[in-house]
Homo-oligomer: A and B are copies of this chain.
Amino acid sequence: MNDMMIKGAQLVSNSADRPKTIVQLTPEVAIGGPEIVIIGGPCTVENYDQMDKIAFHLKGHIQALRGGVYKPRTSPYAFQGMGVDGLEILTQVREKSGLPLVTEVMAISQIETLADRVDMLQVGSRNMQNFDLLKALGQTHKPVLLKRGLAATIEEFVMAAEYIVSHGNPNVVLCERGIRSFDPYQRNVLDLGAVSALKQITHLPVIVDPSHAAGKRELIADLSRAAIACGADGLIIECHPEPEKSLSDARQALSLPEMAALVSSVGAIAQAVGRQFTSTDSPRA
């Protein structure tokens, strides 16, 4: 397996005498254990009702909520997220629903406030090699969801995780979210070979974001099933109570019934690959 391993990944490399990393978001929710974890929510936190609806309808289907309050946008004139107001909404929804929260951190200055309020900090694709941010996150013990860069090699991705772990924080979850290709048909190309490789060469959990990969909602259910069949430990999927009104990424957000249906179909695959999957409730419509 020599040409599989990444030289220099001293701490995150898989080896016989190292247990698989399990990252606890809360005492109840862990990524990397026997259970598949599904994280759902909108690209951007827009208002309380939006988040409350998602939590209400999907609790029992999903294990954690996502929602951005600081948004990395190509244009400085695009909506940059609700900031602290959005964080306040997230906090309320977390309290009411009991669902753990994942949100993106874009700057060292945001770490402390975010870490107090949410359960997992996401490093976005554009910051995968923002090494000062990685080092600062390494000095916390907060779970980190590290997304693969837009055109990062597997080696660069693994070594970005090594930055966080080598600075003291072992709670890293890798997230494959598609890489850039020549084909405008999809937003990105989901690289499930990378998921298989990362599961074999590191001891870190690996989840998949089919929403940003495909960029088209029609492809998301198939890619979700494929990701779990390929060995992923979970999924992070964009959904919205009214996808067509979403402030960003409208074309790729699932409606809440679509999301519930997807979750249930993923369960069958999880079983087929020997994973557990808890979807306690039936969809509430």
Contacts and interface: CB of A to CB of B under 8 A. Distances in A.
Interface of A: 1, 3-4, 8, 10, 72-77, 106-109, 126-127, 129-133, 135, 149-151, 153-156, 159, 162-163, 166-167, 178-186, 189-197, 199-200, 213-214, 216, 218-219, 222-223, 225-231, 251, 268-269, 271-273
B153 A183 contact: yes
11 contacts: A74-B129, A77-B166, A155-B185, A179-B183, A179-B189, A181-B191, A192-B222, A193-B214, A200-B218, A222-B231, A229-B230
8 smallest CB-CB distances across A and B, nearest first, come from A151-B151, A229-B229, A196-B222, A126-B129, A226-B230, A180-B182, A107-B132, A226-B226
A229 B184 CA distance: 24
B72 A131 contact: yes
B229 A269 contact: yes
A219 B193 contact: yes
Contacts of A219: 193, 196-197
Nearest to A80: B131
A76 B167 contact: yes
A194 B74 CA distance: 18
Contacts of A153: 182-185
